[in-house]
Chain A
Amino acid sequence: MRRLSLLLVVAATLTASCTSSTQSNGERTVVLVTHDSFTVEQSVLDRFRADTGIKVDVRKSGDAGALTTQLVLTKAAPIGDVAFGVDNTFASRALAEGVFAEYRPADADKGPQKFAVDGLNRLTAVDVGDVCVNVDLATLAGRELATPTSFEDLADARYKDMLVIEDPATSSPGLAFLMATVAHYGAKDWPNYWKRLKDNGVKVVAGWEEAYTQEFSGSSGKGPRPLVVSYASSPSAEVGTDGKPRTAAVLDTCFRQVEYAGVLAGAKNQDDARKVVDFLISETFQKLVAESMYVYPVRDGIALPEAWQKASPRPESPASLPAEDIQANRERWIEQWRTVVRG
């Protein structure tokens, strides 16, 4: 009996220390709805609060797809004021559904505008993450093979049974790689390329974790395959103790994923929400995105961290597709891909 009441006392103190989300002192709060990968040091948000008087409340939910779905479902009664993390593969859906309000930040011309998706300026680009094939340099060198440099190389018999990819139906990098091949080979020829990849022993898994941490030989998992679909930024995390990169991205196989922020159309607090969008493309925040989220800043003149300059240079000309094309064909491409690769 004594023990149980002790447990209850502990529980009560734990519960009491839970913060409540209600605002009592009339403080200005902006709710930022974002995806699971969003990271920012609390100190940065505290400084923003000191500068502007705005407290940013971060709410994470799922991946870019889940986030977009939530925003669309709640557009009549938004769960926040500003959203970050809708990417170019989902942007059309959010725009067509009228989730975002028009807003063009003053700094838009300092880089973000290059990635604009919408004539009405409802979305502002915040960062770019390129999906590319990664190679395990040591393993390839050990087999006396050159590093592959193109899509064609991946289907070449020299690299038989070496590539592992993610299923485009269940994984966002998987979908990006599929779209890279669509952009490269065109709407008619890409299925043939995939037939060749299949004949060359490409392995498909459901998600990035299995592909990268288990199948790929260049990660801590030391898997069997030296080629994997990952991100241009991944090699920066695989630098050896000698400071030399152990993996590299094949820069001609990249697909550009741009992440956007925007003010929600039903936001209660439009003015302060806009200031948060300004903040996301400000120099302060743009300097942080590489280290905290493994993505490239969109703002001009932001230097990459040192480890990145050697291991993860920015892809020069990644493939991309118009957002409305993606929206219109996503399901059909995935179906076609399934027929070719699984069929």
Chain B
Amino acid sequence: MAHGRPGLTGALAAAAVPLGFLAVFFLWPVAAIVQLGLGDGLGAVLLAPSTWKIVGFTLGQAAAATAVAVITGMPVAFLIARTSLRGNAFIRAAVMVPFVLPTVVVGLAFRSLFGEGGPVAIILANAFFNVAVVARTVAALWSHVDRRAEDAARSLGASRLRTFTSVTLPVLRPAISSAAAVVFLFCATSFGVVLLLGGGEYATLETEIYLRTVQLFDLTGAAALSLLQITSVVAVLVIGAVLRRRSTTLRLRGRADTTRRPAGGEWGIVAAAYLVVLALFVPIASLVAKSFESGLDGYRALGGTGFRGSLQVTGWEAVLNSLRAATDATLLALVLGGISCVALVTLGRTRARPSLVEGIDTALMLPLGVSAVTVGFGYLITLHLLPGDLRTSPLLVPLAQALVVTPLVIRTLLPVLRAIDTRLRQAAATLGAAPLRVWREVDLPLAARSFVAATAFAFAVALGEFGATSFLARPESATLPVVIGRLVARPGELNNQMAYACCTLLMLVTVAIVIVVDRLRVGSVGEF
């Protein structure tokens, strides 16, 4: 293999790792559970008008929530990527908080803010959870984009708006469509939000699959809906991939060169960003306020195991459990996500067909858009066929989380890696650097911010993970979200206080971790 001329074989071999993982932990379980339901009733479900109403509402609310998240996320992305204002480090971490909060408490907070709930509340709550995805994914690319092209446009007399639409936006488009695709999938499969704020009146594919599988044991109906869900997700992903196809090579810069004090009209965008952050804080503040309703009782109770021992761990033990589970899952996801990215980028640089690269990319995104119920029950009927019955192993938690985190890591890293100028790499290779050294000296430093953002995401997802862990968590390893869910589901004032105290704790842990991760100097990552 010639230096700097990556080989197709090497890239395909690297791609085999994440694809193999995907096949075993996603495709096989889903295929197995859907196959159980294949039967005569399938067509009837697919043709029922009520089914199509559900599909319409699912896609409609997801599209609306995605639009809200993109519009509100962009000013925040500008703030943390382009300005050197005080407090940006905190804002970078604070926007991640919604990401980790258990749906049940956010749902309750939104219910108390909106009274009744309904479609508007569902859309806003879904957007609330996902503003961080847009802000951080776009900022990860934006903070590396050279400002001089914009400056040139401005000095040639273009207005700010014109500069943004014809210079900045085309550059950011891959990151924006990346983020939008992820947000759309998250919103399309949101479960708790729809139940809590829909009051049982609004159904999405996700809630209906749950109802049919668990309440009615109608596997045929569930299979039909799962197939619909998979089909519509694949359609959305393909559209997203086509939109991302025109990725441009940019002159990426180190982060220090791209932030400035805002000037003139930029303050307007900064003001908008602060407004968005303030809006995010409204539900968060209401949760914190709730935790102090009867003074510090809830916090004092954290040292114990709840009112009449409702929990088997103390609040503090739950914090440790959360950190432990999240660390495992994050490391696993970063490894898988990192390998996938390298494979996809390298494949993109070979003479491989773009459609092959897009196909792999889309396949890895699939787990975000398929019902956790489908995957979870799929595990039950397949994984015992592997050695060591993973169904009941604590290993399954990080494995299941990696499935969700890997696509996020890819979506964060890929736009940046793809934008790196190949000539830099060729120059390095010409000067005698081996392929690995080229990665270390050229790609890694330029993608540092997005690697950090990906790590922060992976951690936040794993910290807030409720679905997979509640399915598997053993009593002594209950994590914070599991504990919160259990406390909220019990009567008694102290349980309620303690639930909200745990929420506050979870937020603090999240902010602390994200700040720590953000400060990591990844530029030297090649040294270990």
Known: A10-B327, A234-B491, A237-B492. Contact between A330 and B199, CB under 8 A?
A: no
Complex alpha-carbon distance, A37 and B218, angstroms? 25
Known: A77-B384, A204-B199. Contact between A42 and B476, CB under 8 A?
A: yes
Closest chain-B Cβ to A209's Cβ sits at a distance in Å of 5
**A294: B residues at CB distance < 8 A:** 490-491
Q: Which of B207, B475, B493 has the most CB of A within 10 A?
A: B475
Complex alpha-carbon distance, A155 and B207, angstroms? 31
Known: A60-B475, A210-B196. Contact between A219 and B520, CB under 8 A?
A: no
**A231: B residues at CB distance < 8 A:** 491
Known: A62-B471, A210-B111. Contact between A11 and B328, CB under 8 A?
A: yes
A238 pairs with B492, CB closer than 8 A: yes
Complex alpha-carbon distance, A72 and B215, angstroms? 13
Closest chain-B Cβ to A150's Cβ sits at a distance in Å of 23
Closest chain-A Cβ to B371's Cβ sits at a distance in Å of 13
- The proximity string for B residues 213-227 relative to A, scoring 1 for CB distances below 8 Å and 0 otherwise, is 111111000000000
Complex alpha-carbon distance, A234 and B493, angstroms? 11
Complex alpha-carbon distance, A10 and B459, angstroms? 14
Known: A204-B199, A213-B488, A230-B491. Contact between A93 and B217, CB under 8 A?
A: yes
Known: A61-B471, A62-B471. Contact between A342 and B491, CB under 8 A?
A: no
Complex alpha-carbon distance, A59 and B200, angstroms? 29
**Total inter-chain residue pairs, C-beta < 8 Å:** 171
Those of B471-528 within 8 Å (CB) of chain A: 471-476, 485-486, 488-493, 495-497, 516, 519-522, 524-525, 527-528
**A36: B residues at CB distance < 8 A:** 470, 485-486, 489
Complex alpha-carbon distance, A227 and B289, angstroms? 26
Complex alpha-carbon distance, A74 and B33, angstroms? 12
**Is A15 part of the binding interface, using a Cβ–Cβ cutoff of 8 Å?**
yes
**Binding site of B, secondary structure by majority: helix, strand, loop or mixed?**
helix
**A1: B residues at CB distance < 8 A:** 521, 524-525, 527-528
A20 pairs with B394, CB closer than 8 A: yes
**A213: B residues at CB distance < 8 A:** 108, 488, 496
Those of B318-344 within 8 Å (CB) of chain A: 323-324, 327-328, 331
B394 pairs with A206, CB closer than 8 A: no
**B380: A residues at CB distance < 8 A:** 70, 73-74, 79
Closest to B313 in A: A42
**A20: B residues at CB distance < 8 A:** 394
**B312: A residues at CB distance < 8 A:** 39-42
A237 pairs with B491, CB closer than 8 A: yes
**Is A339 part of the binding interface, using a Cβ–Cβ cutoff of 8 Å?**
no
B328 pairs with A59, CB closer than 8 A: no
Known: A11-B328, A65-B214, A330-B216. Contact between A79 and B521, CB under 8 A?
A: no
**A3: B residues at CB distance < 8 A:** 519-521
Name the contact of B392 in the complex, choosing from A4, A31, A66 (C-beta under 8 A).
A31
A342 pairs with B201, CB closer than 8 A: yes
**Is B16 part of the binding interface, using a Cβ–Cβ cutoff of 8 Å?**
no
Closest chain-B Cβ to A118's Cβ sits at a distance in Å of 18
- The proximity string for A residues 51-85 relative to B, scoring 1 for CB distances below 8 Å and 0 otherwise, is 00000011111110110111011100101100000
**Is A207 part of the binding interface, using a Cβ–Cβ cutoff of 8 Å?**
yes
Closest chain-B Cβ to A80's Cβ sits at a distance in Å of 8
**B214: A residues at CB distance < 8 A:** 62-63, 65-66, 69
**Is A331 part of the binding interface, using a Cβ–Cβ cutoff of 8 Å?**
yes
Complex alpha-carbon distance, A206 and B200, angstroms? 5
**Is B211 part of the binding interface, using a Cβ–Cβ cutoff of 8 Å?**
yes
Closest chain-B Cβ to A183's Cβ sits at a distance in Å of 19
Known: A1-B525, A221-B496, A291-B308. Contact between A7 and B520, CB under 8 A?
A: yes
Those of B367-413 within 8 Å (CB) of chain A: 377, 380-381, 384, 388, 391-394
Known: A15-B327, A58-B474, A294-B490. Contact between A220 and B391, CB under 8 A?
A: no
- The proximity string for A residues 11-38 relative to B, scoring 1 for CB distances below 8 Å and 0 otherwise, is 1001101111110000000010000110
Complex alpha-carbon distance, A65 and B104, angstroms? 19
Closest to B305 in A: A41
**Is A292 part of the binding interface, using a Cβ–Cβ cutoff of 8 Å?**
yes
**B433: A residues at CB distance < 8 A:** none
Known: A62-B214, A73-B381, A238-B491. Contact between A15 and B324, CB under 8 A?
A: yes
**Is B307 part of the binding interface, using a Cβ–Cβ cutoff of 8 Å?**
yes
A209 pairs with B488, CB closer than 8 A: yes
**B328: A residues at CB distance < 8 A:** 11, 14-15, 18
**Is B9 part of the binding interface, using a Cβ–Cβ cutoff of 8 Å?**
no
**Is B112 part of the binding interface, using a Cβ–Cβ cutoff of 8 Å?**
yes
**B174: A residues at CB distance < 8 A:** none
Known: A69-B217, A170-B211. Contact between A209 and B489, CB under 8 A?
A: yes
**Is B195 part of the binding interface, using a Cβ–Cβ cutoff of 8 Å?**
yes
**B196: A residues at CB distance < 8 A:** 206-207, 209-210
Closest chain-B Cβ to A141's Cβ sits at a distance in Å of 20
Name the contact of B475 in the complex, choosing from A7, A58, A66 (C-beta under 8 A).
A58
Closest chain-A Cβ to B507's Cβ sits at a distance in Å of 20
Closest chain-A Cβ to B370's Cβ sits at a distance in Å of 17
A4 pairs with B528, CB closer than 8 A: yes
B327 pairs with A79, CB closer than 8 A: no
**B391: A residues at CB distance < 8 A:** 74, 79
**B524: A residues at CB distance < 8 A:** 1, 4
The 8 A-B pairs at the shortest CB distance, nearest first, are namely A167-B200, A237-B492, A1-B524, A237-B491, A220-B493, A65-B214, A234-B491, A206-B200
Other than the given A60-B474, A342-B201, 13 more pairs (CB < 8 A) read A4-B522, A7-B516, A18-B328, A21-B394, A36-B489, A72-B217, A73-B377, A74-B380, A74-B384, A77-B384, A170-B211, A204-B200, A214-B112
Q: Residues of B with Cβ closer than 8 Å to A?
A: 36, 104, 107-108, 111-112, 195-196, 198-201, 207, 211, 213-218, 293, 307-312, 323-324, 327-328, 331, 377, 380-381, 384, 388, 391-394, 470-476, 485-486, 488-493, 495-497, 516, 519-522, 524-525, 527-528
